[in-house]
A and B are shown apart, each in its own frame.
Chain A
Amino acid sequence: MQNRIGAQKGLSLNDPRVRAWLFQVLTIIFVVGLGWYLFHNTQTNLQHRGITSGFDFLDRSAGFGIAQHLIPYVESDSYARVFVIGLLNTLLVTFIGVILATVLGFIIGVARLSPNWMINKLATVYVETFRNIPPLLQILFWYFAVFLTLPGPRGSINIDDMFFISNRGLNMPGAAMADGFWPFVVAVVLAIVAIAAMVRYANKRFNETGEPFHKFWVGLALLIAIPGLCALLFGTPVHWEVPQLKGFNFVGGWVLIPELLALTLALTIYTAAFIAEIVRSGIRSVSHGQTEAARSLGLREGPTLRKVIIPQALRVIIPPLTSQYLNLAKNSSLAAGIGYPEMVSLFAGTVLNQTGQAIEVIAITMSVYLAISISISLLMNWYNKRIALIER
């Protein structure tokens, strides 16, 4: 007799669960339908206008030269290889930029909290200046106003006849594989394993008995001794090629092109200004009681900061820091303005123009940036979880 909700057998729109299901199903149909419609519409229009579509262009031979390629490349290689080279160049800038910007950012952030008036004000000036100038302008400044005004190769700054600084870049001795190379690599891996084992042993001993262990010095000794022994036994791992000026340019050795230097420098300085502020706010978020307690235990400035404040501040620092890393990765695409061959200027620029297949190229580029950003995010989130305070 009584009408109990939930006891009804039939499907009725009066039942909130039925309604929920219905609308969710309809929304899914709508979203999928929209997606399929867009895809189909694009395909039809492309065909209708005679524009080739599909990913076959990746096998075509590229036919143009690239200024910096981390893997071997000749002009007859495919567009797919060009894509990989562009991707590696982007990752190179991102990787170096993230490391340098973090180091610089931490230093400036801590400097801004220093009681020393001069250091404090200098750090403030740095942050305010470099935060407020658009990154592209900074990149153009470093490239056109600094690196390109260096002397040409014939008048380059000569350091020891080994390093040459000119507007063609920084030419340095290059390493070429010699006989002892692969055994050396194996030795380095062994040394790392040995160090890891040593650290575990040292920590265990410290936790059980309280006796400190010279982790750093023993680790350093292992790192030098094991590969060094290997080099003695098997021969030198690399021999160095010194760059020499022949005709127009330097031949031999490695070169860091000014585009790479300008881009990395500009992005590092720009992002460090943001990271400095994040670090400063993170450190300020730790209650002053912690500093006072550390002082009363006799800890000085350095150890207090390193062992008490920063570990707690990291909880506040990591999430916005992740955003800054993602910004750096995406800002690397501004390299197109100075001709650095990273993914946007190489793939979404030259390849797009040569093949005319804008949709496929842009889709690939966007997906790759998405993948890079998600990887950085995942990594930082994992690290964040690991250092999170477990509250009781």
Chain B
Amino acid sequence: MKMLKTTLAVLTAAAALGAVSNAQAGATLDAVKKKGFVQCGVSDGLPGFSVPDAQGKIVGIDADVCRAVAAAVFGDATKVKFSQLNAKERFTALQSGEVDVLSRNTTWTSSRDAGMGLVFAGVTYYDGVGFLVNKKLGVSSAKELDGATICIQAGTTTELNVSDYFRANGLKYTPITFDTSDESAKSLESGRCDVLTSDKSQLFAQRSKLAAPTEYVVLPETISKEPLGPVVRKGDEEWFSIVKWTLFAMLNAEEAGITSKTVEAEAKSTKNPDNARLLGADGEYGKDLKLPKDWVVQIVKQVGNYGEVFEKNLGQSTDLKIDRGMNALWNNGGIQYAPPVR
């Protein structure tokens, strides 16, 4: 009798499991609001993009994008928690729901946009793959790298692009792959490999971490397109729009010349109709996105516009000293362009 009871109990439990419906995708915003914070996937330590500073706080342009999303949703840029992910776990972490948004210098490609159940919400940084070599080798161009040993991070588009480039130019190379960018940099320093390859922004960032940065030079060639941007899960249009328009809001603010210092005054007394719409003084554009009216004001006040964020993390005042280049606004020589808020 006891065995019968146990069996029945177990069978009922199984039936109950079956009756529970699958978690609906499309509820990320609700889940985030209920949690009270945005869970953001960032890298395991890339200066300029997402790296812990001396106090352990994650700083960088990718981290700031997540803070901007939190500022838009909650009005408070500190309501964000960071998960540091390496290149192998980043997509499964997003697919499984462990993070709400992946802002981890991830390249936008068709296979990632289509076959993985994920969508890219914009481009934070237009980049390309380059090579970092020791000046001692006396190499001045990527075409002289025949037979070199190259350190690459495993599972990145860099692996594929380097392979294509060398094949197309009839050159040979030996790849050594690592899980984290730090390990690859360490191997370059020890001489295990001749060349370190990655997105050029990463090369500048890694070079600044080496013991003797002036001994290394980034070769002039850029061998591929690497648009880096935030990623969210497919099927959740609401959340997708929020992340997308957060990035656009930062760009629009820079285009309009609104900075973190001037945004509040501008919001109260602007005469410019575009700015009025952007900052919520006119119209209900925030409501369309299910965000509060002053969502752009909060983003710009607490995090900054795109130019401020770029300068703070990657610009001339940092060790990286990266030029705006392609990442300048469309009317300033670059290709960053945001659709209007109206």
Contact = CB atoms under 8 A, between A and B. Distances in A.
A24 B214 CA distance: 73
B192 A352 contact: no
Given A249-B147, A249-B174, A350 B190 contact: no
Interface in A51-73: 51-52, 63-67
Given A48-B22, A64-B159, A67-B176, A149 B190 contact: yes
Interface stretch (B62-70, B111-119, B121-129, B306-314): B111-119
Interface string B123-142: 00000000000000100000
A51 B149 contact: no
Contacts, number: 143
B25 A350 contact: no
Nearest to A26: B7
Residue in B3, B22, B163 whose Cβ sees the most chain A Cβ within 10 Å? B163
B190 A144 contact: yes
Contacts of A246: 147
Contacts of B81: none
A194 B99 CA distance: 66
A352 B148 contact: no
B88 interface: yes
B177 A350 contact: yes
Contacts of B173: 65
Interface residues of B, number: 55
A281 to B, nearest CB: 38
B149 A49 contact: no
Contacts of A248: 137, 145-149, 194
Contacts of B146: 247-248
Contacts of A353: 87-88, 91, 154-156
A50 B338 CA distance: 27
Interface stretch (B10-18, B263-271, B287-295, B321-329): B10-18
B187 interface: yes
Nearest to B186: A144
B91 A64 contact: no
A26 B6 CA distance: 12
Interface string B175-213: 111110001001100111010000000000000000000
Report, as a range, how many residues of chain A touch the other chain.
35 or more
Contacts of B111: 354-356
Nearest to A37: B18
A37 B149 CA distance: 48
B192 A63 contact: no
B244 interface: no
Interface in A27-52: 27, 30, 33-34, 37, 41, 44-46, 48-52
Given A51-B95, A168-B149, A248-B149, A349 B179 contact: yes
B175 A50 contact: no
A354 B117 contact: no
A167 B234 CA distance: 45
A65 B172 CA distance: 10
B332 interface: no
A41 B17 CA distance: 11
Nearest to A63: B160
Given A48-B25, A337-B179, A30 B116 contact: no
A358 interface: yes
A345 B153 CA distance: 11
Contact of A249 (B4, B7, B112, B149): B149
A135 interface: no
A345 B146 CA distance: 26
A249 B11 contact: no
A49 B156 contact: no
A66 B175 contact: yes
A218 interface: no
Contacts of A27: 7
Residue in A27, A149, A168 whose Cβ sees the most chain B Cβ within 10 Å? A168
Contacts of B7: 23, 26-27, 30
A23 B8 CA distance: 10
30 contacts: A23-B3, A30-B14, A41-B22, A49-B117, A49-B235, A51-B117, A52-B115, A52-B116, A65-B175, A67-B174, A75-B163, A144-B190, A152-B191, A167-B191, A168-B149, A248-B137, A249-B147, A249-B149, A338-B178, A339-B178, A339-B187, A345-B154, A345-B177, A350-B159, A353-B88, A353-B91, A353-B154, A354-B155, A355-B115, A358-B95
Interface of A: 19, 23, 26-27, 30, 33-34, 37, 41, 44-46, 48-52, 63-67, 75, 144, 148-149, 152, 167-168, 246-249, 251, 258-259, 336-339, 341, 345, 349-350, 352-356, 358
Given A247-B147, A251-B147, A345-B179, 14 more contacts: A23-B4, A46-B117, A50-B114, A50-B234, A52-B116, A63-B163, A64-B160, A64-B163, A75-B167, A249-B149, A341-B177, A345-B154, A353-B155, A354-B160
